[in-house]
Structure 1
Amino acid sequence: MTDSGVLHEKWSQDPEYRAAHENLRADFEVAMTVIAARARAGLSQAELAERMGTTQSAIARLEGGRHWPSRRTLERLAAATGTRVVFKLVDPTGTAV
């Protein structure tokens, strides 16, 4: 396990840490999805940025989870990576509604 994984395990015992982590879950999921789409397409951040008509730093912000993308940005990302955007809502167990 990585050092960050060990720390996460340790800190997860703290209810405040768990609540803060849960509050950021959607941000992490979006960031990981952006990274996965780019990797699957075999693109660098700069190459993806060029295809999307943006900058490498904008892609880094998306992948860092510090920026919530608009629907238009997600559509440009999908077009640039050969994927498609799917929106869904799930209940607390993760089952689609």
Structure 2
Amino acid sequence: MEKKSDFQKRLANDLKNPEFKKEWDSLELEYQIQAVLMQARIDADMTQAELAEKSGVRQSNISRIESGAVLPRLDTLEALAKAMGKNLQISMI
């Protein structure tokens, strides 16, 4: 059985607080955008610099998106997806 990290234990405890949970849940989409973009770039075997050159999006902007410092516009996501040979798809579940 895997031992929970201190972070996981603290997060589990903090999520019991309704206000904290509401804020955490509201950020889920932003975390997904970061994770999907970073994984797609890694899968495409590209560095941030290579993606920047191919997409026309500055490397510093890609870094800020992947770190969660900024939330990208749709046209930026579309340019990044195209540069990786992918299509941007948005769905409501």
The answer, yes or no, to whether TM exceeds 0.5 is yes
The corresponding residue for 1:51 is: 54
**C-alpha distance in 1 between matches for 2:6 and 2:62:** 26
Query: Considering only aligned residues, what root-mean-square deviation do their CA atoms show, in Å?
Result: 1.5
The alignment status of 1:74 with 2:80, answered yes or no, reads: no
Instruction: Percent identity, please.
Output: 31
**C-alpha distance in 1 between matches for 2:7 and 2:41:** 24
* Residue number among 6, 12, 34 corresponding to 2:37 in the alignment: 34
In the alignment, structure 1 segments of 5+ residues that lack a partner are 91-97
**C-alpha distance in 2 between matches for 1:17 and 1:63:** 23
TM-score by length of 1: 0.80
Say if 2:57 and 2:76, in contact at 8 Å, map to a contact too.
Answer: no
In the alignment, structure 2 segments of 5+ residues that lack a partner are none
TM-score by length of 2: 0.83
The corresponding residue for 1:6 is: 9
Number of equivalent positions: 90
